[in-house]
Structure 1
Amino acid sequence: MRYLKAIAQDLHGNGHANTVILHFYQQRVGRPDELIHDIVGSDMSSCARWTGRSHHDALDLNKSRIASFADSFLRLNWFNPASHWRRTLVVYVDHFGKKGRPNSVKFDFRESTTSGGQASLVCNAAAYDGDSDGVLETFTNSDVDRNGVADNVDKELIRSLGTTFLGLTWYAH
């Protein structure tokens, strides 16, 4: 299984994330998860600068698709102050349809309460493509923007995040 771990940070201390860190992992049975891509986007409020490393057999990731995913991720306001990595978002394809296309994208919002502590699942969400046409049309009723109400704004955030994640094609069947 492949998954993406996304981290956003406010390095300027102004209450807004300006750096996005994307870790693309490959998970294999009986082995530790392998970090395949390590991409950092900085100065997200203006012309973003992307740097990163790719390991062997790495995919060619399109910078505009990465930027689209990062923009969707930043709309969640799920970020950390400088030098902290307590909040992360893990995104992965959970199921494939009969045509071999992804039909379930899962989002695990994780947070550790202590520095260096084990991250706990604090919220999860999912987007579904029920007819395998490549369009996510059904969403869990989750309050991903943490305003106390699970509404259409949350569903749009889930749709946008799921669509941009699928655009990265970081999944394997």
Structure 2
Amino acid sequence: MRYLKVIAQDRDGSGTAETLHYEFYEDDAFLRDATDAEILLLRTFGTNYLKCRWFNEGEGEERHLRMFSLNPSGDGTPESVRLHFHEGPVIAYKAAVHDLDNDGTFEVVLCSDVDNDGRADRTDRTRVNALVREFMKLGWQ
């Protein structure tokens, strides 16, 4: 399975993340860091991800997001995109979008409180949709 790993860090101790790292993996093997062109594509993704408030104090990497798509039909278009918010090796919480009829539109959004504001609401679904939309621009499904 191929996935994008996103790591946010609060290196200056301000209480908010100011550093983002993007890494690509296949079956837990590091492939490469994101290229400059990919980082430009991920600018809006990064803005939305920072709103999730899932970051590390200092230079840690324990808290991170692993994002990947699933294509069980094998037609090249994902039927599902999953977001796994990790705390070390443990998945702290998950979110997903699903394309039920394989028409290229995600009809179902499943998520909890992804922005860590204490409420699972429409804002969380909006954030998940925004992250997925920007992830899909990479064409790395």
Same fold? TM cut 0.5: yes
Take 2:44 and 2:111, find their aligned partners in 1: how far apart are those partners? 23
Aligned twin of 2:33: 38
Query: Which digits, 9 at most, give the CA deviation of each residue in 1:51-99, with x for residues without a partner?
Result: 6xxxxxxxxx544312122222112111111122220111011234574
Aligned twin of 1:46: none
Aligned twin of 1:69: 45
Take 1:146 and 1:62, find their aligned partners in 2: how far apart are those partners? 27
Take 2:22 and 2:39, find their aligned partners in 1: how far apart are those partners? 12
Q: State the Cα RMSD in Å.
A: 2.0
Q: Where do 4+ consecutive residues of structure 1 move more than 6 Å?
A: none
Structure 2: runs of 5 or more not aligned: none
Q: Could you state the TM-score of these two structures normalised by the residue count of structure 2?
A: 0.87
Take 1:162 and 1:97, find their aligned partners in 2: how far apart are those partners? 19
Query: Which digits, 9 at most, give the CA deviation of each residue in 1:119-139, with x for residues without a partner?
Result: 211101101122333332310
Greater percentage in helix: 2
- Answer whether contact 1:26 1:34 (CA < 8 A) is retained: yes
Structure 1 residues 84 and 93: CA distance shift in structure 2, 3 A: same
Take 1:80 and 1:167, find their aligned partners in 2: how far apart are those partners? 26
Counterpart code for 1:133:
D
Take 1:98 and 1:90, find their aligned partners in 2: how far apart are those partners? 22
Take 1:34 and 1:85, find their aligned partners in 2: how far apart are those partners? 16
Structure number with bigger Rg: 1
Q: How many residues align?
A: 141
